[in-house]
A and B are shown apart, each in its own frame.
Chain A
Amino acid sequence: MTRYIRRAAGFCLLLLLALLANAARVQLFEADELNTSSANRRTTIDRYGQPRGDILVGDEPVTGSKDTGEQLAYERTYRHGPLYAPVTGYASQTYGTTLLENAEDGVLSGTDPLLAPLPLWGDITRTRQPGGDVVTTIEDPVQRAAYEGLDGRHGAVAALDPGTGRVLALVSSPSYDPEVLSGTGPAVTGAWEQLNEAQSRPMLNRAIRQTYPPGSAFKIVTAAAALDTGVVTDPEAATDTPSPYVLPGTSTTLPDEARGCEKASLAEAIRVSCNTVMAHLGVEVGLEGMLDAVGRFGFNDDGLRIPSRVARSNFDSDMSDDQLAQSSIGQFDTTATPLQMAMVASAVANDGELRRPHLVDRVTTDDGGTVRRQDPDEYREAMSPVTARQLQRMMVDVVENGTGTNAAIDGVTVGGKTGTAQHGIDNSATPYAWFIAWAQAPDSDRPAVAVAVVVEDAAADRADVSGGGNAAPIARAVMEAALEG
């Protein structure tokens, strides 16, 4: 019997070996696949198991975290939700993340390897680093001036520091409080549906995700192209443009709303905003030249990130001359985000050098040690310095003597350009009011702020919608706030 007992014991040993081999299969070889399965809730539980890092404006966090005591412990809170929603985005346990919350999620949730004191440290100790903080370039007074300037009207403001590319303000209106989306449950899904169904589209980030026809504000780009390509050598010299102007190859005439545009010089055309002159110059520069010029300002770039993704601003690459003429005055298929138009003003203000716009100044660990810093970085050479200086003078002339007088600030050099973009079928919809500008303090050697404002208020009286009337005062408030800062 002894032999059989030994064999039975051997059989039990086989069972043990099978168990051990199977344990190794599950816990070692298949572990990675199982750990990353979308149905495995552990990833989510770990993610919300610690407070999320904060997004800071200056020294002040504009976000927070609260412990709910539920399985997904920590939920996002926002100090000034609607004011900063276009900057932060939301961080929802139900709907994921957007904007900065999305772009810097690794840092905020503590998974970014930069945060670990030693490489692979987290893998060994199985501890997640505390969430790091993201310090933005936003300046609170500038942001508030823009938000209060829009005052609930539909529109957006983007403000940049021309010398560095720092985004000083990013406002979209109407806005929403992202905190209502933070958690889980019917309250959150209800809020989500309500926000998505709202006519005013409060979750749309109009400053970087919505494109508008830029209208006359685009004439700065066309002017830069005309000067850089040598189509215009003297901005004060008369051009041979008739008014009204017959679009090339068609019998359609393009009228001017301004007076004195017949054969007007480039400077005059910018000051009073002549459609005819600028459309004509655009055609003279030609499609190739215009495409080259708009590209250097950032149009047609669908990879721009600040680090939130910025929608592509469009200038068609295949057009007939009549379409090119309309495109050159910011109509037809030409569209731009408010940030893109702020970049146009910024390039002029910074002597033609366009800095890469960025929203994050630096990223720190939770105890304040800087792990990553964004230094000023050249994005593109938008135009020659000579062209830029000529355009600066023309834009100053707009504010001092032209359509943009509402943006003037006492004792400050301000350059600007209005735009009133027609859109809709037969241009029947309420036009968008644009204003782009930059400002230089008297004691400074370079402009400190460039701004773009768009107001799309459908409720306003159509006659009142104009860049100079609706948008310029907001731009002035934003620039004043920036110059004081």
Chain B
Amino acid sequence: MTATTADARPPALRLPKRRGVELSLLTGAVIISVYGYAAVGLARNGAVPPDVAGYGAGLGLLALLAHLAVRFRAPFADPLMLPIAVLLNGLGLVLIYRLDLETPGDRAATTQLIWSTLGIAFFIAVVVLLRDHRVLQRYAYLSVAAALVLLVVPIFFPAVNGAKIWIRVGGLSFQPGEFAKILLAVFFAAYLGANRNALAYTGRRIWKFQFPTGRVLGPIVAIWLLSVGVLVLERDLGTSLLFFGLFVILLYVATGRTGWIAVGLLLAAAGAFAVGSFEPHVHSRVEDWLDPYATIDAGQGPSQLAQSLFAFAAGGMLGTGLGLGHSILIGFAAKSDFILATAGEELGLAGLTAVFLLYALLVARGFRAGLALRDPFGRLLSVGLASILALQVFVIAGGVMGLIPLTGMAMPFLAQGGSSVVTNWIIVALLIRVSDVARRPAPATGTAPAGEGR
């Protein structure tokens, strides 16, 4: 083995595909998940859960199918992404199963396993059907139209826990905003990739900042305003923050204009201040963040955020061990928004750091794929998808640990929530697809044609 990194490109040499590495890492991921499942049973009942073999076989089979899809349809793909996704998904199932023990009337692990299966089915479908990510450029405007529809639809459905982000049909419910993330990332990447030169080099210069012409910037700002506006109407501030961050990052990467970051931060600060002051639902979140223990002093018992912090603190350095914590005291949303508190309490700072590093590794591999690609759309798409993961982890982990005001959002792969799991699997599938192109030996004719829009 001479070439060891993805972006080293020895010409005319066979690049190692590393599918064997992926398979062994996958085996490890499945084993760790099964071990966690067994550990919960041992800690709680002194016996390994009877269905541990079934759980292990199920997860192993899903991982194997995903691996086979990658092996045959994306043989040069990054070997770390799939194992990390499987490990996080498996760990999430363990944590949800563990919390199910505290709420016998509300079991979520089985549903989550079904959604995970569906997610991996989508993963396989994307890897198999999407031969080249550049195809997606053609659907930029279709994507953004679909994203807006998905964002608007829940307004016509009743609010759930203060946020209008759900569609309930029969017994099923899902958050369309989750899927909109991918569609918006595709649109932003396609549009910015096609217009980045216009954005960067034309337009008026005011003081130190160069502003692009309204003709170029107009559509994208309009769409961004619309999506953020819809989200504020739906009172889902987390996703709103995520879109905003995604937009600013992609704009910066596409144009290289530091001014965008300044403008972005300014807009974000103004928006956050306005919403935080005038929207009661958000205002109370900010109050909670400023003093998580105010309700205790007022004699009303600990707030959810305080309970979450208690859980993390109880974990300490090494954690209580799976199944032995009391994070269920958080109450509502312990399995979804606050799932990280269970990881923090039962796995400790050590386990939590490991989880954060898994996310960091996944994000880093996404950026790496972006660096290795040569078409602007692909680069922006991989940066966008990786940023979605990074921002989402930051917003929710920072929220439940008191770093920033809490906004409802799902911890990728860990949290209970069908739409979130499916979306994250699609994101990983796209990253796998992009990284396959990135690491694929270049054709002898030279560089791949850069996307030029239409």
Q: Which residues of A contact B (CB under 8 A)?
A: 1-9, 11-13, 15-16, 18-20, 22-24, 26-28, 30-31, 33-35, 37-42, 45, 126
Contacts and interface: CB of A to CB of B under 8 A. Distances in A.
Contacts of A33: 313
Contacts of B349: 23-24, 27-28
Contacts of A45: 326
Contacts of B371: 2, 5-6
A27 B302 CA distance: 18
Given A1-B376, A41-B329, A30 B403 contact: no
Contact of A16 (B249, B356, B367, B401): B356
B309 A12 contact: no
B312 interface: yes
A75 to B, nearest CB: 19
Interface residues of B, number: 50
Given A2-B371, A41-B329, A13 B360 contact: yes
A4 B253 contact: yes
B387 A3 contact: no
A207 B180 CA distance: 75
B103 interface: no
B275 interface: no
A48 B197 CA distance: 68
B320 A9 contact: no
Contacts of B386: 9, 12
Contacts of A3: 256
Contact of B310 (A13, A23, A42): A42
Interface stretch (B11-19, B214-222, B391-399): B391-399
B325 to A, nearest CB: 8
A31 B313 contact: yes
25 contacts: A1-B256, A2-B371, A6-B367, A8-B253, A9-B364, A16-B359, A19-B393, A20-B356, A22-B398, A27-B313, A27-B315, A27-B344, A27-B348, A28-B349, A31-B314, A34-B309, A35-B310, A35-B313, A37-B302, A38-B296, A39-B296, A40-B314, A42-B314, A42-B329, A126-B318
B431 interface: no
A27 B351 CA distance: 12
Given A23-B356, A42-B326, 15 more contacts: A5-B370, A6-B371, A7-B252, A16-B356, A18-B394, A19-B394, A19-B398, A20-B353, A20-B356, A23-B312, A31-B313, A34-B309, A34-B310, A38-B296, A126-B318
A6 B364 CA distance: 10
A373 B224 CA distance: 76
Nearest to B306: A39
B352 A27 contact: yes
Contact of B401 (A1, A5, A26, A28): A26
Contacts of A30: 309, 313
B173 to A, nearest CB: 29
B264 to A, nearest CB: 12
A45 B102 CA distance: 14
A26 B312 contact: yes
A82 B118 CA distance: 63
A22 B387 CA distance: 20
Interface of B: 249, 252-254, 256, 293, 296, 301-302, 306, 309-310, 312-318, 320-321, 326, 329, 344, 348-349, 352-353, 356, 359-360, 363-364, 367, 370-371, 376, 379, 383, 386-387, 390-391, 393-394, 397-398, 401-403
Contact of B317 (A27, A34, A37, A39): A27
A8 B367 contact: yes
Tell which of A5, A11, A33, A42 has the most Cβ of chain B within 10 Å. A5
B301 A11 contact: no
Contacts of B310: 34-35, 37, 39-40, 42
A39 to B, nearest CB: 4
Which 8 pairs of residues, A with B, have the shortest CB-CB distance? A34-B313, A31-B313, A12-B390, A9-B367, A39-B296, A15-B394, A27-B349, A39-B302
A22 B399 CA distance: 11
Contacts of A126: 318, 320-321
A40 B306 CA distance: 9
Nearest to A124: B318
B379 A22 contact: no
Contacts of B383: 5, 8
A45 B394 CA distance: 32
A28 B314 CA distance: 10
A22 B314 CA distance: 15
A5 B316 contact: no
B252 A4 contact: yes
A8 to B, nearest CB: 5
Contact of A27 (B312, B329, B403): B312
Nearest to B325: A42
Contacts of A34: 309-310, 312-314
Contact of B390 (A1, A7, A15, A24): A15
A18 B253 contact: no
Given A2-B371, A28-B316, A34-B313, A16 B360 contact: yes
A1 B254 contact: yes
Contacts of B316: 27-28, 31
A217 B398 CA distance: 72
A307 to B, nearest CB: 32
B317 A12 contact: no
Nearest to B359: A16
Contacts of B376: 1
A426 B320 CA distance: 66
